[in-house]
Structure 1
Amino acid sequence: MTSIRVTGLRVRHRRTLALDSVDLDLGTGVHGLLGPNGAGKTSLIRVLATVARPDAGRVELLGEDVADHRGRTGVRRRLGYLPQEFGYYPGFTVREFVAYVAWLKEVPAAGVPAAVERAVARVGLADRIDAKVRTLSGGMVRRVGIAQAIVNDPGVLLLDEPTAGLDPEQRVEFRELLRELGGTATVVVSTHLVEDVAAACTEVTLLAGGRVAYRGTPGELTRLGADTDGPGDHPIERGYTAALRAHRAHGTREAVR
């Protein structure tokens, strides 16, 4: 089942075309969104999260056209979103903050306490659930951000650079959580870390210059890298570079496979 359908998406920031005629269909699983700085990853995530509106094109989430006010409102209850920099109330405890987001998502009141405890436990902060957010380390705050994004058991989960500030052990645990979440939800992870995509994602979309440059599985991208001597310590890193170069060489809107 397709949870995210994007057709002809165009986003402009002043004189810069951030996304140019992007088409995507994404279903259940973990989808990695890769690309160099300025490729349009955050612009795409923001449109999918319904916090930014496109200049052209159509976006459907969970069967709803988000251009429609009623559809957009309904979808927001079923979304989870972690931006690169998320706002929070430092005086709140972890429990209070995640519960507040659950309330915003209209999680039934009777189920909020259990939903909060479950979300916080899944990100490894059960022992800090009653700590003030302002007392936490940067990595812990990032995990609070992940907890608030999953507290409503979203059908679509959008994560922008979610592993920023996490140590290697926490990143491994986070990948395991992603694989679990991807069993029932459509998870989109925007990241610069190719190794996270290789370890956790079922599909990869590579953006370059606001266009889709490549779509495939991590295995396919790895095999692409195995056939090249380009830069990178791992075949998937070489595949990433090879796909970018091929797209630029073609000078076309068509994605490389």
Structure 2
Amino acid sequence: MSTIRVSGLRVRHRRTVALDAVDLDLGPGVHGLLGPNGAGKTSLIRVLATVAQASAGRVEILGEDVGEPARRGAVRARLGYLPQEFGYYPGFTVREFVAYVAWLKDMTAADVPAAVELALHRVGLGDRADAKVKTLSGGMVRRLGIAQAIVNEPEILLLDEPTAGLDPEQRVEFRALLRELGVRATVLVSTHLVEDVAAACTEVTLLDAGRVAYRGTPASLSAVGEATGPDGIGDSGIERGYTAALRAHRTPVEPTR
């Protein structure tokens, strides 16, 4: 069952083309989005989150064409979104901030308290619920961002560099949370950390220079890396596969004679 369908997506920022002719078809599960800086990962996440518009192409989220402004509100209530830098009110307590986001997502007043407590428990902030946001460490703020993204039990969860600032133990716990969420939801995780994709994702999409360079499973990308032999760059099969897939995408195709 497809929950995200993208066809011919093009995003232009002034004179720069951030995404060009991108096609994607995603369903429930955890999907990793990899690529070097400037590949277009954040641009894709922003379009899917309905906070940026496509220059061309079609984007359907949960069966709704988000190119139509009238349909975006209904979609946003069913989304969870964590940008690279998310805004928050430092004077709010942790509980107040997540409850405020729940209200913005049109959750009923009766459902909010339990949903907030569950979200904070899932990210390990239950004991900090009454602390002011301004007192949190960088890693705690990132976990708060994850909590606000999942408070409404979203059907689509979009996470842009979610593990930035998390220590190794927290990253392991976060991977487990992703696998749990991916049983019912479509989770798209943009990251530079290839090992997170290997551990948590069922599928991987590699972007390069605004185009899809590779789509497959982490195991298939690892197989690409293993096939490179000792000449591959990386400490693991999937890292070598990442590098090999990028190189293959960048290699000009010789014209047939």
Alignment TM class, shorter chain as reference: over 0.9
TM-score (norm 1): 0.97
List per-residue Cα deviations over 1:94-140 (Å, max 9, x = no partner): 00000000000001110000000000000011000111010010000
- Give the length in aligned residue pairs: 252
- Which letter does structure 1 place at the counterpart of 2:241? G
In structure 1, what is the equivalent of residue 63 of structure 2? 63
Deviation at 1:69, TM superposition (A): 2.2
In structure 2, what is the equivalent of residue 28 of structure 1? 28
List per-residue Cα deviations over 1:216-237 (Å, max 9, x = no partner): 0000001111111311001100
Alignment RMSD, CA only?
A: 0.9
1:1-257 equivalence runs, <5 A: 1-228=1-228, 229-250=231-252
From the superposition, tell whether residues 73 and 193 of structure 1 become closer, same or farther in structure 2 (CA, over 3 Å). Answer: same
Tell me, what secondary structure is at the counterpart of 1:110?
Answer: coil
Q: Distance in 1 between matches of 2:70 and 2:183?
A: 28
Deviation at 1:178, TM superposition (A): 0.2
Q: Distance in 1 between matches of 2:253 and 2:172?
A: 37
Deviation at 1:148, TM superposition (A): 0.1
- Which letter does structure 2 place at the counterpart of 1:215? R
Uncovered stretches (5+) of structure 1, i.e. residues with no partner: 253-257
TM-score (norm 2): 0.97
Q: Distance in 1 between matches of 2:133 and 2:220?
A: 41
- Percent identity over paired residues: 79
Deviation at 1:91, TM superposition (A): 0.4
Uncovered stretches (5+) of structure 2, i.e. residues with no partner: none
- Which letter does structure 2 place at the counterpart of 1:241? T
Q: Distance in 2 between matches of 1:152 and 1:68?
A: 23
From the superposition, tell whether residues 251 and 209 of structure 1 become closer, same or farther in structure 2 (CA, over 3 Å). Answer: farther
Deviation at 1:194, TM superposition (A): 0.1
Deviation at 1:67, TM superposition (A): 1.4
Q: Distance in 1 between matches of 2:208 and 2:108?
A: 41
Q: Distance in 2 between matches of 1:70 and 1:152?
A: 21
Deviation at 1:12, TM superposition (A): 0.5
List per-residue Cα deviations over 1:27-47 (Å, max 9, x = no partner): 000000000000000000000
Tell me, what secondary structure is at the counterpart of 2:3?
Answer: strand
- Which letter does structure 2 place at the counterpart of 1:247? H
List per-residue Cα deviations over 1:183-221 (Å, max 9, x = no partner): 000000000000000000000000001000000000000
Runs of 4+ in 1 over 3 A off after TM superposition: none
